[in-house]
Structure 1
Amino acid sequence: MSLRSTRSLLRLGAAGPVVFIAAYLVNGAARPGYNSSHDTISALSLAPHGWIQNANFLVYGVLTLCFAEALRRCAALRATGYVSLIVAGTGLILLGLFPTDPVLGFPEGAPTTITAIGTVHSTVALVVFVAYPVAAFAAASRRDPGWTAFSIVIGVLSLEAVGAFFAAVEGTEAGAQSSAGLYERLPTLFIGLWQIAFALRVSIPHRVPDSRNVAVAS
């Protein structure tokens, strides 16, 4: 594959978290009764014009798959990391196809029944939340201590935020205030920063091969 197409995929991968975060911030601010520090990102799919958040998941999933493909071509990531990004990207697409059940009292007055579709959403969300940090850990390189430390810190902070998020959801009754929404947004920011930094790192001319497909580094 050409150098130009590989760099295009890297740019798409870097754009993924930017588009995703900007979309849920603007969408959340425009929804009456929605509190970004309390309500989940997925709950936006239950608000008026919920298709916007569903599309947001789908777009981020596709752009993450583009990112994974670019890293595969550059042999910039171990097989474990590549597979983790494929899992994360595919999971995001599934999140857009299987909306969440009402959670934490949003939308107001909606029944809190658990459905099969909502269960799929919750299960896949957990997988995605874990897959991204695993990819960050797999990006560590003994030849670059600085990048290794950055990737490990990102992975650890993301997992800690995910743990805090699920603990907040489990410990909060519907309608009661919590910081679940804030905790959920933190890993998207951490991983987004890592994804952009990784794309920039690999985009350095001597790191991007102009030869044909390169196998994933083992």
Structure 2
Amino acid sequence: MTEAIERSVDRVTGERALLAGGVLAGPLWVAVALVQALTREGFDPRRHPVSVLSTGDLGWVQISNFVVAGLLCVGAALALRRIPHPGLGPVTGPWLIGQYGVGLVLAGVFVADPLDGFPAGTPRGPGEVSWHGAAHFGAGAVAFTALIAACLVAARRFARRGERGWAVYSGVTGGFFTAAWLALMAGGHPVAMVVFAVAVVAGWGWVSATLRRALREAAG
């Protein structure tokens, strides 16, 4: 009996740790990307997506950033399968958070191509798209689609529970991210680039806030 209780406590503690990792994934990713954006020569958020930080001599920093954040999200998704969440549910939400994490890991594995003067010495203009650059775009699509779907699933579940604030927050985040992503794909205008960067931060904020709620309820 005592051993069973100890195993149960250890399991819950481990799941809380995984959720805590998911909560920290967003702030960590944003902080690392922001420091690079402010310090790496030639990077301009009006012309360059964060993905190009994976290129050049210091590209390993952003590659690691993608992989670590993705693994933390996958770990949180595994914990969500055992810890009920009022918005994400027991199956669909955890699966989508896990898919988001896998997409981030793949975005790190398949490195983006140099672009429009970055890293320093790269010719101006869009440049050629390599096979790994195309795979990077595909990984981004996997991650972004999963994040949007997770937001919308949570919005619907929260609305059914009568939690209007969480429903609106989730729905607006998903809608904003969708609009920003479509605007970016439509042409990469400098305004669209900046708005999409804001949408990425907003998406990470939603992931952290949602997982933090799961962590609080697990602790309670």
Superposition TM-score tier, normalisation by shorter sequence: 0.7 to 0.9
Cα gap change, 1:24 to 1:209, in 2 (>3 Å): closer
- Post-superposition shift, 1:14? 0.7
2:136 paired with 1:136: no
SS of aligned partner of 1:112: coil
Runs of 5+ consecutive residues of structure 2 not aligned to the other structure: 1-7
| CA distance in structure 2 between the partners assigned to 1:197 and 1:112 by the alignment | 38
- Post-superposition shift, 1:209? 7.7
Match of 1:189 in 2: 201
Alignment partner for residue 173 of structure 2, among 154, 179, 188?
A: 154
Q: Which structure has more RCO (C-alpha within 8 Å, separation ≥ 6)?
A: 1
What TM-score, normalized to structure 1? 0.84
2:78 paired with 1:69: yes
| CA distance in structure 2 between the partners assigned to 1:35 and 1:74 by the alignment | 41
2:121 paired with 1:112: no
How does 1:14-163 map onto structure 2 within 5 Å?
14-76=23-85, 77-78=88-89, 79-107=91-119, 108-110=121-123, 112-140=127-155, 141=158, 142-143=160-161, 144-163=163-182
Aligned identity (percent) is 31
- Post-superposition shift, 1:93? 0.7
How does 1:2-21 map onto structure 2 within 5 Å?
2-21=11-30
Runs of 5+ consecutive residues of structure 1 not aligned to the other structure: 173-177, 211-218
Cα gap change, 1:37 to 1:67, in 2 (>3 Å): farther
- Post-superposition shift, 1:192? 1.4
Contact 1:31 1:47 in 2 (8 A): no
SS of aligned partner of 2:48: coil
Q: Deviations over 1:109-155 (max 9, x none)?
A: 34812211111111111221121111111223211222111111111
Q: Quick one: which amino acid aligns to residue 105 of structure 2?
A: I
SS of aligned partner of 1:139: helix
What TM-score, normalized to structure 2? 0.83
Q: Quick one: which amino acid aligns to residue 98 of structure 1?
A: F
| CA distance in structure 2 between the partners assigned to 1:81 and 1:159 by the alignment | 18
Contact 1:101 1:115 in 2 (8 A): yes
Match of 1:175 in 2: none
Give the superposed CA RMSD.
Answer: 2.0
Larger proportion of helix = 2
- Post-superposition shift, 1:37? 3.1
- Post-superposition shift, 1:30? 1.2
| CA distance in structure 1 between the partners assigned to 2:57 and 2:167 by the alignment | 43
| CA distance in structure 2 between the partners assigned to 1:132 and 1:27 by the alignment | 24
Q: Deviations over 1:67-114 (max 9, x none)?
A: 212222212123222222121111111111110122344234348122
SS of aligned partner of 2:174: helix
| CA distance in structure 2 between the partners assigned to 1:58 and 1:138 by the alignment | 25
